[in-house]
């Protein structure tokens, strides 16, 4: 009986890894992490928790409209490679995305 109860607990971390969406917070005119690794085909959701608008882009992948505080943007990374995500408004903002 105990083994049956443990199985869902042991599988929980693996199930969490199966999620193909990741969130990056924008706050203080920076991204919450300087770099992130994801798999090809996964998406990043950018959440603007800042008091400023942001307009982020990754050359060759996407170029967003201005996003006000509280807004989200979800973008897919379909191919392997290393990509820089930047903000047109705040050029010092930089996130490196490693797509495997």
Residues contacting 24, CB < 8 A, separation 6+: 31, 32, 33, 36, 44, 45, 46, 47, 95
What is the rounded distance in angstroms from the CA atom of residue 10 to the CA atom of residue 12? 6
The more confidently predicted of residues 94 and 18 is 94
Give the pLDDT of residue 9: 46
In this prediction the pTM is 0.78
pLDDT per residue as tens digits for the range 34-47: 999 999 999 999 99
pLDDT per residue as tens digits for the range 48-95: 999 999 999 999 999 999 999 999 999 999 999 999 999 999 999 999
Give the CATH number for residue 35: 2.60.40.420
Give the pLDDT of residue 21: 67
Task: Please count the structural domains in the chain.
Answer: 1
Q: Which domain holds residue 60?
A: 20-99
Is 5 part of a structural domain of the chain? Answer: no
Is 34 part of a structural domain of the chain? Answer: yes
């Amino acid at each position: 009986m105990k083994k049956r109860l443990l199985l869902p607990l042991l599988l929980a971390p693996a199930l969490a890894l199966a999620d193909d969406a990741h969130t990056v917070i924008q706050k203080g005119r920076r991204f919450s992490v300087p770099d992130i690794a994801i798999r090809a085909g996964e998406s990043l959701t950018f959440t603007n928790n800042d008091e400023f608008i942001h307009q982020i882009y990754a050359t060759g992948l996407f170029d967003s409209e201005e996003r006000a505080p509280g807004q989200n943007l979800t973008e897919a990374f379909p191919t392997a490679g290393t990509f820089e995500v930047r903000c047109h408004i705040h050029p010092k903002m930089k996130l490196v995305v490693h797509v495997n």
